[in-house]
Amino acid sequence: MDFKKETRMLYRWIARIGNLLLRLLWHLLHVIINLCHFTLGIANALESHLISWGILGRYKSLHVAKLRYLAIVVESEEAYQISNIIELLQWLAAVGIKYVCLYDREGILKKSKDFILEKLDGAILFKEAHENNVLLDQTHMTLEFASFSDGKETMAKAANVLFKKYLKSGATDKIQEEQIFTESQMAEALKTVGSGGPEPDLLLIYGPARCHLGFPAWRLRYTEIVFTTVRQNYGS
């Protein structure tokens, strides 16, 4: 009896020691991960400041050529900070990004597009430079301004354009064995109503929102979406 009792007590002590060691190991790993995350945060912040001060070379490892078209979603509150938007665009131009679409839900940036274009040396509107939505190599920045009205409202207008063409064609009494509207026809209709821009390679959503705030969804089929809530000072 004494031997069995002592064996049970030994097992209990081993189990307690094992649980204690596992807890210590879990806390140790937690501390190590937090320290790594904190260290990386400090390193990134320091790198950003060194780049802003001109001490460190600016993003030489970036493959800007792969980013053909960048779209940025800005919340309405941030959209009123036009000076910050201009600073951001100047930074993007400095790293070699030439095609940018600025979107805010209320169209604040669209209303300020003339002022923004004046502050950017050589910048032009996308629809004035590329009638066929072809991204060409160039030295100046091309901007597109979009708002919520370029979403569902524009899609409804484009559908109305296609419907009118369909009625004029006199095909309403014929049996349609093929698609009435094709993707290319819809793209042409969107271009007709003034919203036929290309699909962005990357969509940055700036602010606390975790959605694209009404950015035209048909232009995001193959777009990578990144959310950011960090306010940064962009180096010139």
Q: What is the pLDDT of residues 94-117, one digit of tens each?
A: 888 889 999 998 889 989 999 999
Whichever domain contains 87, its CATH number is 3.40.1180.10
- Could you count the other beta carbons within 10 Å of the beta carbon of residue 222? 8
Whether residues 24 and 134 fall in one domain: no
In this prediction, residue 236 has a pLDDT band, given cuts at 50, 70 and 90, of very low
Whether residues 45 and 85 fall in one domain: no
- Distance CA(2)–CA(8), nearest Å, equals 10
In this prediction, residue 59 has a pLDDT band, given cuts at 50, 70 and 90, of low
Residue 43 placed within a domain: yes
Whether residues 70 and 138 fall in one domain: yes
Whether residues 50 and 97 fall in one domain: no
Residue 213 placed within a domain: yes
Residue 25 has a pLDDT of 92
Its domain, for residue 109, covers 64-151+195-228
Task: Give the lowest-confidence range in 1-15, 29-43, 192-206, 220-234.
Answer: 220-234
Whether residues 210 and 115 fall in one domain: yes
Whether residues 115 and 32 fall in one domain: no
Residue 42 placed within a domain: yes
- pLDDT, tens digit (0-9, with 9 covering 90-100), for 159-209: 788 778 777 776 555 555 555 667 677 777 777 766 667 788 999 887 777
Strands 224-228 and 70-74: unpaired
What are the strands of the beta sheet with 99-103, ordered from one edge? 124-125, 142-146, 99-103, 70-74, 202-206, 224-228
Say which residue, 202 or 138, is predicted with more confidence: 202
Residue 189 placed within a domain: no
